[in-house]
Structure 1
Amino acid sequence: MKRSKVLFLGVCIALVLSLLAACSKDNTKNNASGTSSEPSESQQATGSASQSSKEVKITFFNTSAEINTVFEKLFKVYKQEHPNVTVELIPTPIGGAQIEKFQSLLASGNPATVVNLDAGTIFQYKDKFLDLESEKAKYAKLALPGAIDGALLDGKFIGVPYSAQGYGLLYNKRVVEEAIGGAFNPSTIKTRSDLESLFKKIEAAGKAPVIIHGADWSLAAHYLGLAYSLQSNDVEKNRQFVEGLKNGTVDLSTNQAYNGLMDTFDLLKKYNARKNDPLVADYNKDSLDFAKGEAAFYFMGDWSWSVIGPLKSRDKDFGILPVPISDNPADFGNSQVAYTEPKLFAIDNAGSTPEQQEAAKTFIEWMITSEASQKAIIGESGLAMPYKNLKVESSNPMSSAISNYVADGKTINIGVINYLPSDYWAKTGASMQKYLVNKIDRAGLTKEVQDYWKSTAGK
């Protein structure tokens, strides 16, 4: 009997120990997988799962080169909040060999986990990126109307928009108002002739009217690129226009929007502060000179605030004008600024592990929703984000001015560029540079641009 009791007691102890071990194993498993039946407040706020105890390293390929240092500092903050995840920045230079570097990483079998790329490049390499359809509804709730639809590439959600940008003729309010002797109302510039009259007053006041940045990306992707978007505010119709260029059924020499745009470019050339050496293309110097009032206007985008904003002894008030393309105020383009969600965050699906991909999803959500990230992107860098209920107000007066155009529905949808070949701005940019320095005339430029598009037929 005594032996039976001891045996019974031993069985009970073994059973209890077994149950305790099972509970411990389950808890360890839950902690490792990052799941919890009761998420913390921070988890509820971000909608993300808790971090895995496993160390994960992800790399971030950045083509918003003007804010490389901003991202570097931001990733250190992310590390503090997510100690088991390391985000390593892969920087690129402004405008220089960015796509080649991305292609090299892809070819080496060591692609970046997360990329910040132009939508067009993501579309070109769409098979290399993770389908984010399961994430779409979450971002649709957070985004401004139309932002997610604008980020779709052939109807697929493979990139999360993080910035909204616009471009046109930035102006230094002080310089303009000193030249005209009073308050400047940008809505008074409705035509090319209006713009030239203003340029003449600025020149008479002893200031350079405008700076043209001579880099191929500015001349072709931004300026000449307007020709493809000015045909219609419908992206699909603009895609058809480009297909017409490829198959030779569209003749640029007789196209009204193209010729109007280039007539305005001739005006900008005439009054260009860099006319004696127009191909220097020093982005920092151009931005600095404009910010300090060496020129009244600057053909550029609101992203230049990342350079202008931190400058000491700069002017304070800036705005933006559309690029007028005719002398008819009613023509499309004369009252509208170019606007898009140009950069998307996408996740690699060619060489990244499932753990890296999951960590990348959480990281991207943090980049969009966290106050720390919004302070860096909006407050410090001066970029706009196409989302509602942002925690930070923009410090960028140019972005604020563009937001007014957006609110009034006065924008040019430049989404067609998402479907253009990755070399279009480099190839046609070289032609624009020749035109800028008068090595070719309008007919020569038009032929070179059309020859480029015909060479892409079937690609």
Structure 2
Amino acid sequence: MKITKSVTLGICSVLLLSSLAACSKNETSSPSAEATKQTKDVKITFFNTSAEVNNVFEDLFKTYHELNPNVSIELIPTPIGGGQLEKFQSLLASGSPATIANLDPATILQFKDKFADLESEKAKYEKLTKQGAVDGALLDGKFLGVPWTAQGYGLLYNKRVVEEAIGGAFDPASVKTRDDLEALFKKIEASGKAPVMIHGADWSLGAHYLGLAYSLQSKNVDENRKFVEGLKKGDIQLANNPQFSGLMDTFDLLKKYNARKNDPLVADYMKDSGDFAKGNTAFYFMGDWTWSVIGTLEGRDKEFGMIPVPISNNPTDYGNTQVAYSEPKLLAVDKSGSTPEQQNAAKAFIEWMVTSEQGQSAIVNKMGLSMPYKEVKVKGTNVISDAVTKYVDQGQAINIGVINYLPTDWWSKTGASMQKYLVGKIDRKGLADEVQMYWKSYSGK
């Protein structure tokens, strides 16, 4: 779940995707789409920041047009890795905004006055989505974007490697504390395998790992926002925070058993993912998006799962039995330059996309993503997403929505500090001081 502009869904930039074959005209659309068919021609546009799947969206638009001949949808593509926000701003400035925008929640929040309040759609999506999905998509309490994908992260595990090391079946629920994790690591090391892989990129260390410190303060996003404000004002000292301390104690454990400890900053995503998939390491701190690499590899193992990152030796502490989970992209409807007819057409298309078999097949099978919806009519191949779904269905997920309210450079700046800590250039106090100084630089902002 690489985070921020092109980062939240970002690691999916390694997706190697084929186009979605156009569906037959004989296929039927969802009842809701039929009920909201336009009676006159309307053209809408779709601004897409998931640039890796432009072709899938284009084919999906063709399918929808076949089912709804009066509605045409034009893709506004963006480049992979940069310039997306600038292009979105230029469309606003020109008075020609996209009718639908596929954006990071933080960007929608930044331009919230430009988007339609979807309060009238909220109850419908609360029934369609899994528990907490709509709440996780709220921005300043408003429903401004429809969630369509979901991602989770934690400690991925290679089932074969773990079970060979312990000499039997592995129960992921057996790891509830840091000591449990270390005991397992010792057995894996004794078997001749590296226990865990840490990917040394700043986004993985700063956003995904250290970012947990802000989300673990409370199950309530607003309380976590207050925590961040306390860091900015200097009212809260990070070094004294139990969640931060526990998280870093676990990081020390991961460092000790890291497969890359001799060269921890090499950060070769393809190699790290490949080594894990082929059994050279048992665990991997990463998210379900890595299936876009793992799923394509020849000679890989077949069975993988995920466990939470334990942050203490008290099994009841929040985070020890929950995995991080979020909706990295939302679909927002423009109100600043779109007509009521265009807005209605946009809402109808979004509902069709997330509820119809054609739309779900595009998302799950062609894009390789998972969906936070109760009734998904198609079955994907991402077994790691399946593991995340089990946690979500059991209510064992960490809402990391606080990141939607953080500055755009939070992960890169603090990620650089985490990299220093990973290689021993700064100690725990130095890390806490650097992160604290970062937040103080935003005091009053």
State TM-score, norm by structure 2.
0.84
Query: For 1:311, what is the secondary structure of its paired residue?
Result: coil
Higher mean alpha-carbon deviation, 127-136 vs 182-191, is at 127-136
- Aligned partner of 1:149 in structure 2 is 135
- Deviation (angstroms), 1:354: 5.1
Matches within 5 A, 1:81-100: 81-82=67-68, 84-88=71-75, 90-93=77-80, 99=85
- Aligned partner of 1:123 in structure 2 is 109
Query: For 1:281, what is the secondary structure of its paired residue?
Result: coil
Aligned partners of 1:170 and 1:298 also within 8 Å: yes
- Deviation (angstroms), 1:247: 0.9
Matches within 5 A, 1:274-423: 274-352=260-338, 356-423=342-409
- Deviation (angstroms), 1:382: 4.3
Q: What is the CA–CA distance in structure 2 between the aligned matches of 1:45 and 1:402, rounded to whole Å? A: 29
Deviations 1:379-430 (A, max 9, x none): 4444332222221234322222222222333222222222222222122222
- Aligned partner of 1:245 in structure 2 is 231
Matches within 5 A, 1:12-91: 42=29, 44-46=31-33, 48-51=35-38, 54=41, 56-63=43-50, 67=53, 70-82=56-68, 84-88=71-75, 90-91=77-78
Residues 185 and 41 of structure 1: CA distance in aligned 2, closer, same or farther (over 3 Å):
closer
Supply the RMSD in Å over aligned alpha carbons: 2.8
- Aligned partner of 1:26 in structure 2 is none
- Aligned partner of 2:7 in structure 1 is none
1:187 aligns with 2:173: yes
State TM-score, norm by structure 1.
0.82
- Which of 258, 263, 288 is the equivalent residue of 2:244? 258
Aligned partners of 1:67 and 1:306 also within 8 Å: no
Question: Match of 1:402, as an amino acid?
Answer: V
Residues 410 and 134 of structure 1: CA distance in aligned 2, closer, same or farther (over 3 Å):
closer
Residues 401 and 252 of structure 1: CA distance in aligned 2, closer, same or farther (over 3 Å):
same
Q: What is the CA–CA distance in structure 2 between the aligned matches of 1:413 and 1:278, rounded to whole Å? A: 29
Question: Match of 2:127, as an amino acid?
Answer: K
1:442 aligns with 2:428: yes
Aligned partners of 2:33 and 2:349 also within 8 Å: no
- Aligned partner of 2:217 in structure 1 is 231
Deviations 1:34-54 (A, max 9, x none): xxxxxx974734355324664
Q: What is the CA–CA distance in structure 2 between the aligned matches of 1:69 and 1:310, rounded to whole Å? A: 19
Residues 363 and 199 of structure 1: CA distance in aligned 2, closer, same or farther (over 3 Å):
same
Aligned partners of 1:71 and 1:89 also within 8 Å: no
- Aligned partner of 2:162 in structure 1 is 176
Higher mean alpha-carbon deviation, 385-394 vs 170-179, is at 385-394
Aligned partners of 1:382 and 1:399 also within 8 Å: no
Deviations 1:204-241 (A, max 9, x none): 33322222222222222211111011112122221221
Higher mean alpha-carbon deviation, 195-204 vs 230-239, is at 195-204
Query: For 1:131, what is the secondary structure of its paired residue?
Result: coil
Deviations 1:276-318 (A, max 9, x none): 4433433333323322222211111122223322333322111
- Aligned partner of 2:152 in structure 1 is 166
Query: For 1:267, what is the secondary structure of its paired residue?
Result: helix
Unaligned runs of 5+ in 2: 1-26
- Deviation (angstroms), 1:69: 5.2
Q: What is the CA–CA distance in structure 1 between the aligned matches of 2:319 and 2:125, rounded to whole Å? A: 31
- Aligned partner of 1:15 in structure 2 is none
Q: What is the CA–CA distance in structure 2 between the aligned matches of 1:300 and 1:67, rounded to whole Å? A: 21
Residues 97 and 383 of structure 1: CA distance in aligned 2, closer, same or farther (over 3 Å):
same
Q: What is the CA–CA distance in structure 1 between the aligned matches of 2:270 and 2:90, rounded to whole Å? A: 27
Unaligned runs of 5+ in 1: 1-39
Query: For 2:48, what is the secondary structure of its paired residue?
Result: strand
- Deviation (angstroms), 1:171: 0.7
Residues 141 and 327 of structure 1: CA distance in aligned 2, closer, same or farther (over 3 Å):
closer
Deviations 1:306-351 (A, max 9, x none): 3322333322111101101122223222112112233211123445
Residues 42 and 282 of structure 1: CA distance in aligned 2, closer, same or farther (over 3 Å):
same
Query: For 2:109, what is the secondary structure of its paired residue?
Result: helix
Question: Match of 1:58, as an amino acid?
Answer: T
1:455 aligns with 2:441: yes
Q: What is the CA–CA distance in structure 2 between the aligned matches of 1:143 and 1:216, rounded to whole Å? A: 32
1:211 aligns with 2:220: no
Q: What is the CA–CA distance in structure 1 between the aligned matches of 2:29 and 2:270, rounded to whole Å? A: 40
Larger Rg: 1
Q: What is the CA–CA distance in structure 1 between the aligned matches of 2:198 and 2:432, rounded to whole Å? A: 20
Aligned partners of 2:30 and 2:355 also within 8 Å: no
Question: Match of 2:36, as an amino acid?
Answer: A
Query: For 1:158, what is the secondary structure of its paired residue?
Result: coil
Residues 128 and 326 of structure 1: CA distance in aligned 2, closer, same or farther (over 3 Å):
same
Residues 409 and 54 of structure 1: CA distance in aligned 2, closer, same or farther (over 3 Å):
closer
Aligned partners of 2:46 and 2:102 also within 8 Å: no
Q: What is the CA–CA distance in structure 2 between the aligned matches of 1:445 and 1:108, rounded to whole Å? A: 44
